[in-house]
Amino acid sequence: MLRTVRHIPLFKVIAILQLALLARRHLGALTSADRRRAAQLIRHSRNLTPAERHELIDLASKLEPRAFAGAVAHKMSPVPLPRRITGRGSRSKTGRSG
């Protein structure tokens, strides 16, 4: 393992670790029971019933995949990205007078 890491440029190692931390933060949205059930469903994903598929989709939606993708894009992009892509800093319309 260490031999492999030694041959990867440092910036790539840092990027991999940043992605791992982002993934860990999003996985924290699931309870331990949810994580266990998701792992169980994924292991048997070829033979899922429609109810189990729906359950897996519900578990995946708790992970907020769009927010994760936006966070990854924001972290890895060399240029600032629009808020609509990253999902960061959305403005509330409640404070505006119309």
Q: Return the DSSP state at 92.
A: P
Instruction: Read off the tokens for 67.
Output: 């927010």
The pLDDT tens digits of the residues spanning 42-84 come to 999 899 999 999 999 999 999 888 888 888 888 888 888 787 7
Spatial separation of the C-alpha atoms in residues 26 and 68, rounded to whole Å: 7
The pLDDT tens digits of the residues spanning 16-31 come to 888 899 888 888 889 9
Is the CB of residue 8 less than 8 Å from the CB of residue 1?
no
Spatial separation of the C-alpha atoms in residues 56 and 34, rounded to whole Å: 10
Residue partners of 15: CB distance under 8 A and separation at least 6 = 76
